[in-house]
């Protein structure tokens, strides 16, 4: 499976088939999710109408962690098996993950103003999400900091693996520390502690965001593969030009002799 899609052309062929489906699925699920979230779900008995922000906030936060986990996995695959597409997959995922993290922070702060009375508090969950945002930015910056693109990808892969320590810290920060942020209520051993009328729109938008990720990922992947190909072409062009130059100068030398 891993080896089969090491070939970019084969990967692109598969991507062509998946991409329209991902797009359709995203739009349908998002429309349904928004309908449920805005019109067909009750306001919370404590939070009132602001609870509807959650239907964007929670899926974005899940996607932020999900993207970083994927980033760590692709980095591991790139380092262990030297898989040619794994580095590109990391490059394609990082900006999407950074945007989801940003979205989670922004929506959380918009929700926090009416609920907690402040845009921002320095509690464990918020701070660790903020760190995650900077880990994404560090990954993106490190990738482009070298003249040699492949070297940049390898350095960034090591950083992604080191930064992965932060993901369990974010996940369990609400259980380990007493914080303002509420603890997990969907994934629990005792079953979800959230009513089905609220769970439906939440799961719909979460799935829509997953589909959205796949859609954007495939678009980014196409760009990354094209860029890698351009670079390879440029290098071979320069090499050919140099070979031709050496050949003509050799011929001239031979003529002079």
Partner 1 sequence: MTTFIEIVRRDLRLSMRHGMDTIMVVMFFVLVILLLPLGVGPEPTVLARISGGMIWVSALLASMLSVERLFQTDYEDGSLELLVIQPFMLELTVTAKVISHWLITGLPLLIIAPLLAGMLHTGKDGFAALLLTLAVGTPLLSLIGSIGAALILGARQGSILLSLLVLPLYIPILIFGVSAVDAAIHGLPWRLPVLILGSLLIGLAPFSVWATAAALRETMRR
> Residues in the site for partner 1, rule: CB under 8 A?
79, 127, 131, 134-135, 137-138, 141-142, 145-148, 151, 154-155, 158-159, 161-163, 166, 169
Tell me how far apart the alpha carbons of residues 168 and 170 are, in angstroms, rounded to a whole number: 5
Cβ proximity to partner 1, 162 vs 230, nearer residue: 162
Provide the minimum distance between the beta carbon of 225 and partner 1 in the complex, in angstroms, as a whole number: 22
Return the closest-CA partner of residue 105 out of 87, 71, 130: 130
Cβ-contact 200, 209 below 8 angstroms = no
Burial group, residue 39, by CB count within 10 angstroms (0-12, 13-18, 19+)? exposed
Cβ proximity to partner 1, 110 vs 161, nearer residue: 161
Cβ proximity to partner 1, 119 vs 176, nearer residue: 176
Tell me how far apart the alpha carbons of residues 65 and 70 are, in angstroms, rounded to a whole number: 9
Provide the minimum distance between the beta carbon of 64 and partner 1 in the complex, in angstroms, as a whole number: 14
Cβ proximity to partner 1, 159 vs 219, nearer residue: 159
Cβ-contact 132, 68 below 8 angstroms = yes
Tell me how far apart the alpha carbons of residues 120 and 139 are, in angstroms, rounded to a whole number: 25
Provide the minimum distance between the beta carbon of 145 and partner 1 in the complex, in angstroms, as a whole number: 4
Provide the minimum distance between the beta carbon of 49 and partner 1 in the complex, in angstroms, as a whole number: 35
- Alpha-carbon dihedral sign for residues 74, 78, 79, 80: positive
Q: Spell 168-196 as b/e; 16+ CB within 10 A means b.
A: eebeebbeeeebebeeeeeeeeeeeeeee
Provide the minimum distance between the beta carbon of 243 and partner 1 in the complex, in angstroms, as a whole number: 24
Cβ proximity to partner 1, 97 vs 163, nearer residue: 163
Which are the contacts of 16, defined by CB distance < 8 A and separation ≥ 6?
none
Provide the minimum distance between the beta carbon of 250 and partner 1 in the complex, in angstroms, as a whole number: 31
Cβ proximity to partner 1, 154 vs 171, nearer residue: 154
């Amino acid at each position: 499976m891993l080896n089969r899609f090491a070939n970019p052309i084969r990967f692109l062929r598969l991507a062509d088939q998946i991409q329209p489906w991902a797009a359709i699925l995203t739009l349908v699920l998002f429309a349904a999710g928004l309908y449920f979230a805005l019109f067909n779900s009750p306001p919370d008995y404590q939070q009132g109408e602001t609870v509807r922000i959650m239907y964007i906030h929670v899926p974005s936060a899940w996607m932020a962690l999900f993207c970083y986990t994927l980033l760590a996995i692709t980095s591991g695959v790139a380092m262990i098996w030297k898989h040619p597409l794994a580095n590109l997959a990391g490059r394609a995922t990082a900006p999407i993950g950074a945007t989801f993290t940003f979205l989670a922070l922004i929506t959380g702060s918009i929700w926090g103003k009416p609920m907690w009375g402040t845009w921002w508090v320095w509690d464990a969950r918020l701070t660790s999400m903020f760190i995650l945002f900077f880990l994404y930015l560090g990954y993106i910056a490190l990738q482009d900091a070298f003249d040699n693109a492949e070297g940049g990808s390898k350095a960034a892969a090591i950083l992604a693996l080191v930064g992965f320590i932060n993901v369990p810290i974010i996940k369990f920060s609400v259980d380990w520390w007493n914080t303002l942020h509420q603890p997990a209520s969907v994934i629990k051993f005792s079953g979800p502690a959230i009513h089905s009328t609220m769970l439906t729109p939440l799961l719909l938008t979460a799935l829509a965001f997953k589909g959205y990720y796949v859609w954007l990922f495939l678009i980014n992947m196409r760009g990354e593969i094209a860029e890698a190909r351009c670079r390879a072409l440029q290098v071979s062009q320069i090499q050919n030009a140099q070979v031709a130059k050496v050949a003509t100068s050799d011929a001239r030398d031979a003529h002079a002799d």
